[in-house]
Amino acid sequence: MTNDPYQSPMIEQFRYARRDKPTIRFFSGPDFGLTALGVFKDSLDIVEQEFHCTPTVMFPTGGTPQAFYRELTADSHFKWRCTLNVVQLDEYVDPETELVISKTDPRSYADELARTVYEPLRIAPRLRTTFRDNVDPKEACVSMNIALAKNCRRIDTGLYGIGPNGHLGFVEPSYKWMTEGAFVSKLAKETREANAQYCEEHGGMPTHAVTQSLGLLTKRIVRHPMVLAKENKADILLRSLRGKPTPRVPASILQDVPNVSMIVTAELLEILKTELPIKQEAYNRMEHTRHFAYIH
């Protein structure tokens, strides 16, 4: 189904406000993909109004954002086709060569995003800031940090999924916060189990990845983090939003990050309503974007 989501009065908006913490907003509607598309487009409109420039965005892979990607690529009203700047969130390390996986490998996230998003939107390779492939992972991280510093002083809208163990990108549970630039991450057992289905017939599940650190969030390089979650993430989302933030649940960092929007399914919203003191607000296509308080 492809509609202009701005015509839909059905998106509901809720706020989760706590003393001394930034407010987190939840958005939900009858169609998960269209709800995400509506909030995403509003977010880019604000960038255009505030900065008069082409937005830079970061897209995740995984099952959860696929409905959003289908709506985005089918949306004839989307005005940033061909011009959007994109940044890669993470990429596998090839378990055989121990180099960053080739962009032609079917397991590659760069390849997956190129096929499902960049090519349908006709985003030219020069507009894509990706991890270098076929190089030592540490070298790829250094190159990524240099490229980000040079090309993208900010990532306007950064989309994230949440892993079954609370990982964000491939920042896995740890005893310390990982906030200093892109780094090589050892994948947790739960992550490897959850993603094995996509990799097994193509040469095996990687044990390591290169990923952007949480510094993108804590240093406000990502100005508007948009988290997409379905009801299968209810438990880990609640663990992430309650109690004190801990690197043992990386997504709990979101409690301390301003301007977080969470796009949730109707089923997940029902669970959140019973478990968290969230309050409904009026949804207005531009109103909620006032909360994306940009600081220069």
Chain contacts with ligand PGA (rule: CB under 6 A): 62-64, 161-163
Q: How far apart are CA 104 and CA 227, in angstroms?
A: 28
Nearer to ligand PGA, 63 or 243 (CB): 63
- 3-state secondary structure at position 243: coil
Nearer to ligand PGA, 46 or 217 (CB): 217
Q: How far apart are CA 278 and CA 269, in angstroms?
A: 10
- Residue 15 CB neighbours (<10 A): 15
Name the minimum Å distance from CB 147 to ligand PGA. Answer: 23
Name the minimum Å distance from CB 211 to ligand PGA. Answer: 10
Nearer to ligand PGA, 161 or 215 (CB): 161
Q: Which residues contact 219 (CB under 8 A, 6 or more apart)?
A: 179
Nearer to ligand PGA, 23 or 232 (CB): 232
Nearer to ligand PGA, 161 or 247 (CB): 161
DSSP H or E run through 185: strand 183-186
DSSP state for residue 35 in the 8-state scheme: H
Name the minimum Å distance from CB 63 to ligand PGA. Answer: 4
Q: How far apart are CA 57 and CA 128, in angstroms?
A: 10
Nearest-10 Cα torsion for 66, 69, 75, 78: 160
Name the minimum Å distance from CB 10 to ligand PGA. Answer: 23
Name the minimum Å distance from CB 161 to ligand PGA. Answer: 3
